[in-house]
């Protein structure tokens, strides 16, 4: 269900503009908007791949935390070679099967995904889907790397995402700072610590100014540098 809510009610949901989501997911903002708003090619209009979590009522596009995770998974399937329309069908069937608007963002998809793909094959006959449905290891190759970066709660609900891996020390949690990247030890937004290192002239000075460990500032700086790298997309 999408939510038309004041900002204070977005705690636990997260809030990202397409530009912010693109920077975090490495999926172009224009593609995110097409997925979430729909798009027209000639006379044909393609409906959104799913309904975003957030509707601020101003006609703009925003994503919630679970939208962001589903974006990563959908992009992984497209990168593997599935056409967007096949990904759309997978999302629709997974939504029906799992009873969740963001099925690719749940860890239940890790185990039930193979069954969902087999059901999709019955309608599509797509050869690559057949390979995927019959080969559990192929499914694991696509799903498992991302799932390892996510902490899940009861019912397979995603709680935290470690976009640079757990060793990177930065997480996204919709209950903290509307889902913005947080340095794990200090619980200070990574962008703030990285900016402080520039303003103060060194990571050591920034650590003193914020009363955190030097390692926390270094992790924040490293994370921001990863996000600033040019996308290969």
Q: Where are the domains of the chain?
A: 152-233
Residue 25 near residue 75 (C-beta atoms within 8 A): yes
3-state secondary structure 198-213: HHHCCHHHHHHHHCCC
Distance of alpha carbon 33 from alpha carbon 26, whole angstroms: 14
Rama region for 220: left / alpha / beta (φ>0; ψ in -120 to 50; rest) = alpha
The tens-digit pLDDT sequence of the chain (233 residues) is: 444 444 447 778 999 999 999 999 999 999 999 999 998 888 888 889 999 998 888 888 999 999 999 999 999 988 888 888 888 899 999 999 888 999 999 988 887 888 888 888 877 777 777 787 777 777 878 888 888 999 999 888 999 999 999 999 999 999 999 999 999 999 999 999 999 999 999 999 999 999 999 999 999 999 999 998 766 44
CA–CA separation, 10 vs 181, rounded Å?
Answer: 16
* Beta bridge partners of residue 161, listed in sequence order: 150, 172
Q: Return d(Cα 33, Cα 38) in angstroms, integer.
A: 7
Full-model pTM: 0.87
The span from the CA of 78 to the CA of 210, in Å, is: 42
Residue 151 has a CB neighbour count (10 Å cut-off) of 13
Backbone dihedral angles phi then psi of residue 26, each to the nearest 5 degrees? 65, 30
């Amino acid at each position: 269900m999408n939510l038309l809510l004041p900002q204070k009610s977005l705690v636990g949901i997260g809030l990202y503009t397409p530009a912010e989501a693109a920077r975090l997911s490495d999926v172009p903002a224009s593609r995110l908007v097409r997925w979430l708003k729909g798009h027209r090619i000639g006379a044909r209009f393609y409906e959104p791949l799913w309904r975003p979590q957030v509707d601020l009522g101003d006609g703009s596009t925003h994503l919630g935390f679970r939208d962001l995770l589903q974006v990563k998974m959908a992009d992984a399937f497209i990168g593997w070679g599935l056409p967007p329309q096949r990904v759309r069908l997978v999302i629709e069937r997974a939504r029906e099967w799992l009873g969740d608007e963001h099925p690719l963002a749940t860890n239940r998809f890790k185990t039930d995904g193979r069954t969902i793909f087999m059901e999709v094959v019955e309608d599509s006959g797509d050869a690559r889907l057949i390979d995927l449905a019959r080969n559990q290891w192929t499914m694991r190759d696509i799903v498992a790397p991302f799932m390892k970066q996510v902490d899940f709660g009861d019912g397979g609900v995603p709680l935290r995402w470690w976009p640079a891996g757990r060793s990177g020390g930065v997480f996204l949690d919709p209950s903290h700072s509307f889902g913005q990247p947080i340095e794990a030890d200090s619980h200070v937004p990574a962008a703030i610590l990285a900016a402080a290192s520039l303003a103060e002239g060194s990571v050591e000075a920034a650590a003193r100014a914020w009363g955190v460990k030097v390692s926390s500032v270094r992790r924040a700086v490293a994370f921001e540098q990863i996000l600033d790298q040019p996308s290969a997309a």
